[in-house]
Protein backbone atom coordinates (compact mmCIF):
# COMPACT_ATOMS: atom_id res chain seq x y z
CA UNK A 1 0.00 0.00 0.00
CA UNK A 2 1.32 3.43 -0.82
CA UNK A 3 0.17 7.02 -0.70
CA UNK A 4 1.11 10.47 -1.96
CA UNK A 5 0.21 14.00 -0.90
CA UNK A 6 0.20 17.34 -2.71
CA UNK A 7 0.24 20.72 -0.99
CA UNK A 8 -1.16 23.37 -3.35
CA UNK A 9 -3.59 21.14 -5.23
CA UNK A 10 -5.80 24.09 -6.22
CA UNK A 11 -3.05 25.54 -8.45
CA UNK A 12 -2.55 24.82 -12.13
CA UNK A 13 0.36 22.43 -11.72
CA UNK A 14 -0.71 21.12 -8.29
CA UNK A 15 -4.11 20.08 -9.58
CA UNK A 16 -2.52 18.25 -12.52
CA UNK A 17 0.01 16.59 -10.19
CA UNK A 18 -2.72 15.30 -7.88
CA UNK A 19 -4.66 13.97 -10.87
CA UNK A 20 -1.52 12.46 -12.39
CA UNK A 21 -0.56 10.73 -9.14
CA UNK A 22 -4.08 9.30 -8.83
CA UNK A 23 -4.09 8.11 -12.46
CA UNK A 24 -0.60 6.61 -12.28
CA UNK A 25 -1.75 3.44 -10.57
CA UNK A 26 1.30 3.63 -8.28
CA UNK A 27 -0.56 5.01 -5.29
CA UNK A 28 -3.49 3.61 -3.40
CA UNK A 29 -4.38 7.01 -1.99
CA UNK A 30 -3.61 10.61 -2.96
CA UNK A 31 -4.16 13.38 -0.42
CA UNK A 32 -4.68 16.78 -2.01
CA UNK A 33 -4.25 19.93 0.08
CA UNK A 34 -5.46 23.45 -0.68
CA UNK A 35 -5.82 26.76 1.10
CA UNK A 36 -9.59 26.72 0.72
CA UNK A 37 -11.65 23.59 1.35
CA UNK A 38 -12.68 21.73 -1.81
CA UNK A 39 -14.09 18.24 -2.29
CA UNK A 40 -11.69 15.59 -0.94
CA UNK A 41 -8.98 18.01 0.13
CA UNK A 42 -7.25 18.83 3.38
CA UNK A 43 -6.72 22.53 4.10
CA UNK A 44 -3.65 24.50 5.11
CA UNK A 45 -2.27 28.03 4.75
CA UNK A 46 1.46 28.44 4.19
CA UNK A 47 1.39 31.59 6.29
CA UNK A 48 -0.13 29.77 9.27
CA UNK A 49 2.22 27.19 10.81
CA UNK A 50 -0.49 25.77 13.07
CA UNK A 51 -2.62 24.92 10.02
CA UNK A 52 0.33 23.07 8.44
CA UNK A 53 1.02 21.09 11.61
CA UNK A 54 -2.68 20.28 12.02
CA UNK A 55 -3.01 19.11 8.39
CA UNK A 56 -0.09 16.70 8.74
CA UNK A 57 -1.12 15.45 12.17
CA UNK A 58 -4.69 14.79 10.97
CA UNK A 59 -3.57 12.53 8.12
CA UNK A 60 -4.55 8.91 8.71
CA UNK A 61 -1.07 7.86 7.50
CA UNK A 62 2.22 9.44 6.43
CA UNK A 63 2.49 9.05 2.65
CA UNK A 64 5.95 8.32 1.25
CA UNK A 65 5.66 10.79 -1.65
CA UNK A 66 5.07 14.50 -0.99
CA UNK A 67 4.97 17.36 -3.45
CA UNK A 68 4.71 21.04 -2.49
CA UNK A 69 3.22 22.73 -5.57
CA UNK A 70 2.21 26.08 -4.07
CA UNK A 71 3.85 29.39 -4.90
CA UNK A 72 3.42 33.13 -5.35
CA UNK A 73 4.70 35.37 -8.14
CA UNK A 74 2.01 38.03 -8.42
CA UNK A 75 -1.24 38.95 -6.70
CA UNK A 76 -3.10 41.97 -8.07
CA UNK A 77 -5.44 42.06 -5.07
CA UNK A 78 -2.39 42.88 -2.90
CA UNK A 79 -0.47 44.88 -5.53
CA UNK A 80 2.24 42.19 -5.71
CA UNK A 81 4.08 41.88 -9.01
CA UNK A 82 7.66 40.90 -9.85
CA UNK A 83 10.08 43.84 -9.63
CA UNK A 84 11.91 44.96 -12.76
CA UNK A 85 14.26 47.28 -10.84
CA UNK A 86 15.68 48.15 -7.44
CA UNK A 87 13.23 51.01 -7.04
CA UNK A 88 10.24 48.68 -7.42
CA UNK A 89 11.13 46.72 -4.29
CA UNK A 90 8.75 46.87 -1.36
CA UNK A 91 9.51 45.29 2.01
CA UNK A 92 6.03 43.99 2.71
CA UNK A 93 5.81 42.39 -0.75
CA UNK A 94 9.22 40.76 -0.33
CA UNK A 95 8.26 39.40 3.08
CA UNK A 96 5.07 37.90 1.71
CA UNK A 97 6.74 36.30 -1.31
CA UNK A 98 9.42 34.81 0.96
CA UNK A 99 6.74 33.62 3.40
CA UNK A 100 4.81 31.73 0.72
CA UNK A 101 7.69 30.46 -1.45
CA UNK A 102 10.38 29.63 1.11
CA UNK A 103 9.20 29.77 4.73
CA UNK A 104 5.90 27.92 4.17
CA UNK A 105 7.51 24.90 2.47
CA UNK A 106 10.20 24.91 5.18
CA UNK A 107 7.50 24.70 7.84
CA UNK A 108 5.90 21.77 6.01
CA UNK A 109 9.33 20.11 6.12
CA UNK A 110 9.65 20.92 9.84
CA UNK A 111 6.42 19.09 10.68
CA UNK A 112 6.81 16.27 8.17
CA UNK A 113 10.32 15.13 7.39
CA UNK A 114 11.18 13.33 10.62
CA UNK A 115 7.95 11.36 10.28
CA UNK A 116 8.90 9.88 6.92
CA UNK A 117 9.55 6.13 6.92
CA UNK A 118 13.15 5.11 7.72
CA UNK A 119 12.91 1.66 6.19
CA UNK A 120 11.97 2.55 2.61
CA UNK A 121 12.26 5.18 -0.11
CA UNK A 122 10.43 8.47 0.42
CA UNK A 123 10.31 11.72 -1.56
CA UNK A 124 9.78 15.34 -0.52
CA UNK A 125 9.76 17.46 -3.69
CA UNK A 126 9.09 21.20 -3.82
CA UNK A 127 8.34 23.18 -6.96
CA UNK A 128 11.03 25.79 -7.28
CA UNK A 129 11.89 27.73 -10.47
CA UNK A 130 14.92 27.92 -12.72
CA UNK A 131 15.03 31.68 -12.10
CA UNK A 132 15.92 30.82 -8.48
CA UNK A 133 19.25 29.41 -9.64
CA UNK A 134 22.05 31.78 -8.60
CA UNK A 135 24.49 30.12 -11.00
CA UNK A 136 22.07 30.43 -13.94
CA UNK A 137 21.02 34.07 -13.36
CA UNK A 138 21.89 36.19 -16.38
CA UNK A 139 18.78 38.38 -16.71
CA UNK A 140 18.25 39.69 -13.18
CA UNK A 141 14.96 41.23 -12.10
CA UNK A 142 12.09 39.57 -10.22
CA UNK A 143 14.07 40.22 -7.04
CA UNK A 144 11.69 38.82 -4.40
CA UNK A 145 10.63 35.76 -6.42
CA UNK A 146 14.19 34.84 -7.42
CA UNK A 147 15.44 35.35 -3.87
CA UNK A 148 12.59 33.30 -2.41
CA UNK A 149 13.28 30.37 -4.75
CA UNK A 150 17.04 30.59 -4.10
CA UNK A 151 16.23 30.48 -0.37
CA UNK A 152 13.94 27.50 -0.95
CA UNK A 153 16.68 25.71 -2.87
CA UNK A 154 19.17 26.30 -0.04
CA UNK A 155 16.69 24.99 2.50
CA UNK A 156 16.24 21.79 0.48
CA UNK A 157 20.02 21.24 0.48
CA UNK A 158 20.10 21.80 4.24
CA UNK A 159 17.21 19.42 4.86
CA UNK A 160 18.76 16.75 2.64
CA UNK A 161 21.99 16.94 4.67
CA UNK A 162 20.14 16.73 7.98
CA UNK A 163 17.86 13.89 6.86
CA UNK A 164 20.76 11.80 5.53
CA UNK A 165 21.82 11.16 9.14
CA UNK A 166 18.56 9.48 10.15
CA UNK A 167 16.62 8.72 6.95
CA UNK A 168 19.09 7.35 4.43
CA UNK A 169 16.37 6.54 1.88
CA UNK A 170 14.68 9.95 1.96
CA UNK A 171 14.97 12.08 -1.19
CA UNK A 172 14.61 15.86 -0.75
CA UNK A 173 14.63 17.81 -4.03
CA UNK A 174 13.64 21.06 -5.73
CA UNK A 175 12.05 20.79 -9.19
CA UNK A 176 11.59 23.26 -12.05
CA UNK A 177 8.33 22.49 -13.91
CA UNK A 178 9.15 24.35 -17.14
CA UNK A 179 7.07 27.30 -18.28
CA UNK A 180 3.51 26.20 -17.68
CA UNK A 181 0.13 27.68 -18.56
CA UNK A 182 -1.31 28.68 -15.20
CA UNK A 183 -2.53 31.78 -13.34
CA UNK A 184 1.00 32.28 -12.05
CA UNK A 185 2.59 32.53 -15.49
CA UNK A 186 -0.36 34.17 -17.33
CA UNK A 187 0.89 37.79 -17.36
CA UNK A 188 4.48 36.85 -18.31
CA UNK A 189 4.44 34.24 -21.03
CA UNK A 190 3.85 36.47 -24.06
CA UNK A 191 7.41 36.03 -25.30
CA UNK A 192 7.51 32.28 -24.67
CA UNK A 193 7.22 30.29 -27.92
CA UNK A 194 4.32 27.84 -28.04
CA UNK A 195 6.77 24.94 -28.32
CA UNK A 196 8.30 25.80 -24.91
CA UNK A 197 5.00 26.25 -23.10
CA UNK A 198 3.58 23.22 -21.29
CA UNK A 199 0.03 22.51 -20.25
CA UNK A 200 -0.18 21.70 -16.52
CA UNK A 201 -0.87 18.07 -17.44
CA UNK A 202 2.26 17.74 -19.59
CA UNK A 203 4.40 19.43 -16.94
CA UNK A 204 2.95 17.17 -14.23
CA UNK A 205 3.63 14.06 -16.33
CA UNK A 206 7.27 15.14 -16.77
CA UNK A 207 7.67 15.93 -13.07
CA UNK A 208 6.19 12.60 -11.97
CA UNK A 209 8.58 10.80 -14.31
CA UNK A 210 11.51 12.69 -12.75
CA UNK A 211 10.27 11.86 -9.24
CA UNK A 212 9.90 8.17 -10.12
CA UNK A 213 13.52 8.04 -11.29
CA UNK A 214 15.08 9.73 -8.24
CA UNK A 215 17.33 7.80 -5.87
CA UNK A 216 18.66 8.79 -2.42
CA UNK A 217 21.91 9.83 -4.16
CA UNK A 218 19.88 12.65 -5.81
CA UNK A 219 18.76 14.10 -2.46
CA UNK A 220 19.61 17.80 -2.21
CA UNK A 221 19.46 18.21 -6.00
CA UNK A 222 17.66 20.76 -8.18
CA UNK A 223 16.16 19.15 -11.29
CA UNK A 224 14.29 20.45 -14.33
CA UNK A 225 11.17 18.85 -15.83
CA UNK A 226 13.39 16.76 -18.15
CA UNK A 227 15.51 15.38 -15.33
CA UNK A 228 18.50 17.63 -16.08
CA UNK A 229 20.33 19.04 -13.06
CA UNK A 230 20.13 22.82 -12.62
CA UNK A 231 23.01 24.63 -10.88
CA UNK A 232 22.08 26.02 -7.47
N1 LIG B 1 3.74 28.21 -14.09
C2 LIG B 1 5.01 28.29 -14.40
O3 LIG B 1 5.40 28.60 -15.55
C4 LIG B 1 6.07 28.02 -13.35
C5 LIG B 1 7.43 28.12 -13.72
C6 LIG B 1 8.43 27.86 -12.76
C7 LIG B 1 8.05 27.51 -11.47
N8 LIG B 1 6.72 27.44 -11.13
C9 LIG B 1 6.39 27.09 -9.75
O10 LIG B 1 5.45 26.03 -9.72
C11 LIG B 1 4.61 26.15 -8.57
C12 LIG B 1 3.14 26.04 -8.98
O13 LIG B 1 2.85 27.12 -9.84
P14 LIG B 1 1.49 27.22 -10.70
O15 LIG B 1 1.91 27.69 -12.03
O16 LIG B 1 0.69 25.98 -10.56
O17 LIG B 1 0.78 28.44 -9.94
P18 LIG B 1 -0.75 28.69 -9.54
O19 LIG B 1 -1.67 28.07 -10.51
O20 LIG B 1 -0.83 30.16 -9.31
O21 LIG B 1 -0.88 27.92 -8.14
C22 LIG B 1 -0.32 28.42 -6.98
C23 LIG B 1 -0.78 27.59 -5.82
O24 LIG B 1 -0.17 28.10 -4.61
C25 LIG B 1 -1.18 28.20 -3.63
N26 LIG B 1 -0.89 29.18 -2.60
C27 LIG B 1 -0.50 30.47 -2.76
N28 LIG B 1 -0.38 31.07 -1.55
C29 LIG B 1 -0.71 30.13 -0.64
C30 LIG B 1 -0.78 30.13 0.78
N31 LIG B 1 -0.50 31.21 1.52
N32 LIG B 1 -1.14 28.99 1.41
C33 LIG B 1 -1.43 27.86 0.69
N34 LIG B 1 -1.38 27.81 -0.64
C35 LIG B 1 -1.03 28.94 -1.29
C36 LIG B 1 -2.43 28.59 -4.42
O37 LIG B 1 -3.57 28.42 -3.63
P38 LIG B 1 -4.94 29.25 -3.93
O39 LIG B 1 -5.60 28.51 -5.07
O40 LIG B 1 -5.68 29.16 -2.65
O41 LIG B 1 -4.53 30.66 -4.26
C42 LIG B 1 -2.29 27.62 -5.59
O43 LIG B 1 -2.72 26.34 -5.19
C44 LIG B 1 5.00 27.46 -7.89
O45 LIG B 1 5.90 27.21 -6.85
C46 LIG B 1 5.71 28.23 -9.01
O47 LIG B 1 6.65 29.15 -8.47
C48 LIG B 1 5.73 27.68 -12.04
Q: State pLDDT tens for residues 119-161.
A: 999 999 999 999 999 999 999 999 999 999 999 999 999 999 9
pLDDT digits (tens, 9 = 90+) for 200-226: 999 999 999 999 999 999 999 999 999
Ligand 1 neighbours by CB, cut-off 6 Å? 8, 10-14, 34-36, 45-47, 69-72, 100, 127, 129, 176-177, 179-180, 182-185
The maximal CA–CA distance of the chain, rounded, in angstroms, is: 53
Give the CA radius of gyration of the chain.
17
**Residue 189 confidence (pLDDT):** 85
Question: Which residue minimizes the CA distance to atom 10 of ligand 1?
Answer: 127
**Residue 185 confidence (pLDDT):** 92
Query: The whole model's pTM is what?
Result: 0.97
Expressed in angstroms and rounded, the spacing between residue 70 Cα and the centre of ligand 1 is: 4
Residue 1: pLDDT band (50, 70, 90) is low
Angle between helices 49-57 and 104-112 (to 10 degrees): 40
Expressed in angstroms and rounded, the spacing between residue 4 Cα and the centre of ligand 1 is: 19
Three-class secondary structure assignment of 107-134: HHHHHHHHHCCCCCCEEEEEECCHHHCC
CA distance 104 to 99: 6
CA 179 to ligand 1: nearest atom: 3
Give one DSSP letter per residue of the chain, joined into a string: --EEEEE-TTSHHHHHHHHHHHHTSS-SEEEEEESS--TTEEE--TT-HHHHHHHHHTSSS--SEEEE----S-BGGGTB---SSGGG--HHHHHHHHIIIIIHHHHHHHHHGGGS-SSS-EEEEEE--GGG-STT--S---HHHHHHHHHHHHHHHHHHHHHHTT-TTEEEEEEE--EE-STTTGGG-TTS-GGGEE-HHHHHHHHHHHHHH--GGGTT-EEETTS-B---
Decide if pLDDT at 49 tops 80: yes
Amino acid sequence: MSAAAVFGASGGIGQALAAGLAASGRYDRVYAGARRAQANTFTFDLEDEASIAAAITAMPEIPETWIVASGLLHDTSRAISPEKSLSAMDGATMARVLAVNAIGPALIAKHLLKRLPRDRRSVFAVLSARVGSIGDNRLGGWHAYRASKAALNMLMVNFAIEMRRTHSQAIIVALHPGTVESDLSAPFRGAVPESRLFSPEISAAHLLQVIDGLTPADSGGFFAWDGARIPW
